[in-house]
A and B are shown apart, each in its own frame.
Chain A
Amino acid sequence: MNPVNYLYLAALLFTIGATGVLIRRNAIVVFMCVELMLNACNLAFVAFSRMHGNLDGQVIAFFTMVVAAAEVVVGLAIIVSLFRSRHSASVDDASLMKL
């Protein structure tokens, strides 16, 4: 199968993730959409790696996974502490600092 098709899929997943970040209200779901975007990047890296015939892209995919895991640790800690003090994870409720 032509690897370009995987790039189209990566772009589609990235767009779905970005749209989700913009329209969803729950911080956890927003965060999951960010993870979807990162995974779309991974797919693009691996597809390009195959097109170019070098392994750089596949190595980067591993790095991205590690970074995403670290981001989950930090992100969930912050979102859970917000949820515990407000009993809501809605990003619209967090508006103490609106102008």
Chain B
Amino acid sequence: MSATAAVHSLWTTAAADPISKIDAPKIEYGQLAPTLIVVGAAIIGILVEAFVPRKSRYYVQMFVAVVALAAAFASVVALAADGYATTKAGIAAMGAIAVDGPALFLQGTILLTALVGLFTFAERRLDPEAHGNRVDSFAAQAASVPGSDSEQRAVKAGFTTTEVFPLLLFAVAGMLVFPAANDLLTLFVALEVLSLPLYLLCALARRKRLMSQEAAVKYFLLGAFASAFLLFGIALLYGYAGSMSYATIAQVVEGTVPEVTPALAGTMGNDALLLVGAALLIMGLLFKVGAVPFHMWTPDVYQGAPTPVTGFMAAATKVAAFGALLRILYVVLPGLRWDWRPVMWAVAIVTMVVGAVVAITQTDIKRLLAYSAISHAGFILAGVIAATPSGVSSVLFYLAAYSFVTIGAFAVVTLVRDAGGEATHLSKWAGLGRRSPLVAAVFAVFLLAFAGIPLTSGFAGKFAVFKAAAEGGAAPLVVVGVIASAIAAFFYIRVIVLMFFSEPRPEGPTVAVPSPLTMTAIGVGVAVTVVLGVAPQYFLELAGDAGVFVR
């Protein structure tokens, strides 16, 4: 009864009190600048779609997006230099957003990845010109039925879907908030803000549109299903702790909450709420990460989506989702460590092994990279399980290294083309090294980095993660990880052998000469791969300094 009375008194007093008693929220605009810049630019992008003539939209959108991402990255660097990553780390926006080392590190990574991804989005020299207009990887008019008259008219008129730029920025805004969210509501809203634009981007391919739409439907239905589970998990955790704030929930889990109301005393004793809620919440995050058994969407979506979108999605979503998962496990549920660790052990082992083994049977290069992404999610989970500060920093480093390799690898995939668009079947890649040694060599570098060969960023990342896992008491996991890496190395090397040591087919694909945009994307990918592989020390220290969560 007392709880009921309390709610009623809330309503009545709120109505009787003068409005002036409501305190205005205190928002630290400076600390939220990276996100605010990106959201503002996305809204400007929509206005550009509405008011700027069609001919010049592409250039205006490109300009707005590049400036916004660069400015947001600059403000992340400024915040970090100001000490917000270490000494001044704190909670901003009335407890909704955490500004701390991991958040800033991951936001910086996401912004750089998005900038490189943006270059691959804007590439307009790969497809042959249609009716004298340069075209990119996106449908002329997404609403027209594939193969219909209206589609042909749209192509003839030179329409392009420049909406992809604001969509990209909205997705980036969600990704920036996702690893920094400090209450469960912000987490959920950020998840949706990052997911919804990605569902749309998946449906926008210029070639193979049926496959692209199919990928979008699969991604959308499964993504919405997973976020419903996440939301129910949030509801149960809210019911358990009576609050959405990460810090309060953590206190309730540990039993150190200062003030226990009668209602809280009732729900606190109910472990079912806590365990089921945490399980559903983690499940929703593991779906975004692409961990087995929640990985079913990954191969189809990666294959069907336009390749620039696949690259961006594979890199940036993984960074954001692992950031959110780390914060949930390390800030909210450290008191539940003995319950989640065994489960995550099992998930990590299954993810590494299934990703590596199933990838062997793949014949499509994009599907192969999708399964490789799954097994990499398993390697990163091994670092997450460590539950030590070095575990956090190794995961941060791995994510930074992995995202650039991924985006570079998918950028190379866009170059190898035949009459039907991108030639993604592996058999068509035979002898690519003879025909185009440079492209094949670059792709080989990325594959070696995926495999974790020394002197590439993949090795430095894997070493850091496995070391942290072993120190955190997960030695068997490291053994499985090394075996899975060996299996994975087999199919990466197989692709390299196929490219360099087999005869090219007479009707094989051609390698398109890209504009400086894609060249930059691939160049940055190679540079980061080599630098992080040869001299990782500075970046490892950077990740090490950034490895402490604020609570």
Question: Are A and B bound to each other?
Answer: yes
- Grouping DSSP codes into helix (H, G, I), strand (E, B) and loop, the B interface class, with mixed when no group exceeds half, is helix
Q: Which residues of A contact B361 (CB under 8 A)?
A: 99
Which of B6, B218, B239 has the largest number of chain A CB atoms within 10 A?
A: B239
Contact partner of B192 (CB less than 8 A), chosen from A27, A51, A71, is: A71
Q: Determine if B143 and A81 form an interchain contact, defined as CB atoms under 8 angstroms apart.
A: yes
Interface residues of A in 40-67 (CB under 8 A from B): 40-41, 44-45, 47-57, 59-60, 63-64, 67
Contact partner of B3 (CB less than 8 A), chosen from A53, A71, A74, A95, is: A53
Tally of chain A residues near chain B (CB < 8 A): 50
In the assembled complex, the CB of A30 is this many whole angstroms from the nearest CB of chain B, namely 6
Q: Determine if B228 and A94 form an interchain contact, defined as CB atoms under 8 angstroms apart.
A: no
**Looking across the interface, which residue of chain B has its beta carbon closest to that of A36?**
B228
Asked if A16 is at the interface of the complex by the 8 Å CB criterion, the answer is no
Q: Determine if A74 and B235 form an interchain contact, defined as CB atoms under 8 angstroms apart.
A: no
**Looking across the interface, which residue of chain B has its beta carbon closest to that of A39?**
B228
Q: Determine if B200 and A7 form an interchain contact, defined as CB atoms under 8 angstroms apart.
A: no
**Looking across the interface, which residue of chain A has its beta carbon closest to that of B222?**
A21
- Segment from B61-69, B205-213, B383-391, B403-411 that makes contact with A: B205-213
Asked if A78 is at the interface of the complex by the 8 Å CB criterion, the answer is yes
Q: Which residues of B contact A95 (CB under 8 A)?
A: 214
Q: Which residues of A contact B231 (CB under 8 A)?
A: 37-38, 41, 64
In the assembled complex, the CB of A68 is this many whole angstroms from the nearest CB of chain B, namely 9
Q: Determine if B244 and A60 form an interchain contact, defined as CB atoms under 8 angstroms apart.
A: yes
Asked if B501 is at the interface of the complex by the 8 Å CB criterion, the answer is no
In the complex, A91 Cα to B210 Cα: how many Å? Answer: 13
Q: Determine if B214 and A78 form an interchain contact, defined as CB atoms under 8 angstroms apart.
A: no
Asked if A23 is at the interface of the complex by the 8 Å CB criterion, the answer is no
Contact partner of A85 (CB less than 8 A), chosen from B3, B210, B304, is: B210
Asked if A77 is at the interface of the complex by the 8 Å CB criterion, the answer is yes
Q: Determine if A67 and B192 form an interchain contact, defined as CB atoms under 8 angstroms apart.
A: yes
Contact partner of A45 (CB less than 8 A), chosen from B235, B300, B303, B304, is: B235
Q: Which residues of B contact A17 (CB under 8 A)?
A: 228
Contact partner of B303 (CB less than 8 A), chosen from A31, A51, A53, A97, is: A97
Contact partner of B211 (CB less than 8 A), chosen from A74, A75, A81, A96, is: A96
Asked if B347 is at the interface of the complex by the 8 Å CB criterion, the answer is no
Q: Which residues of A contact B242 (CB under 8 A)?
A: 48, 52, 54
Contact partner of A50 (CB less than 8 A), chosen from B3, B196, B209, is: B3
Contact partner of A78 (CB less than 8 A), chosen from B3, B217, B234, B261, is: B217
Q: Determine if B145 and A85 form an interchain contact, defined as CB atoms under 8 angstroms apart.
A: yes
**Looking across the interface, which residue of chain B has its beta carbon closest to that of A61?**
B235
Q: Determine if B221 and A27 form an interchain contact, defined as CB atoms under 8 angstroms apart.
A: yes
**Looking across the interface, which residue of chain A has its beta carbon closest to that of B303?**
A97
Asked if B238 is at the interface of the complex by the 8 Å CB criterion, the answer is yes
In the complex, A86 Cα to B216 Cα: how many Å? Answer: 14
Asked if B243 is at the interface of the complex by the 8 Å CB criterion, the answer is yes
Contact partner of B216 (CB less than 8 A), chosen from A7, A48, A55, A78, is: A78
Asked if B353 is at the interface of the complex by the 8 Å CB criterion, the answer is no
Q: Which residues of B contact A82 (CB under 8 A)?
A: 213-214, 216-217
Q: Determine if A52 and B225 form an interchain contact, defined as CB atoms under 8 angstroms apart.
A: no
Q: Determine if A40 and B244 form an interchain contact, defined as CB atoms under 8 angstroms apart.
A: no
Q: Which residues on B are within 8 Å of A, measured CB to CB?
A: 2-4, 6-7, 10, 142-143, 145-147, 185, 188-189, 192, 196, 199-200, 203, 209-211, 213-218, 220-221, 224-225, 228-229, 231-232, 234-236, 238-239, 242-244, 261, 263-264, 266-267, 299-300, 303-304, 361
A52-B261, A85-B209 known; 12 new pairs, CB 8 Å cut-off, are A17-B228, A34-B225, A44-B232, A44-B236, A52-B263, A53-B3, A56-B238, A60-B234, A63-B189, A67-B188, A79-B217, A97-B299
A-B contact pairs, 23 of them (CB 8 A): A7-B239, A10-B235, A17-B228, A18-B225, A18-B229, A31-B224, A34-B225, A34-B228, A44-B236, A50-B4, A53-B3, A60-B185, A60-B238, A71-B192, A75-B221, A78-B216, A81-B145, A81-B203, A82-B213, A85-B146, A86-B210, A96-B211, A97-B303
Nearest first, the 4 closest Cβ-Cβ pairs linking A and B are: A53-B6, A37-B228, A48-B239, A52-B242
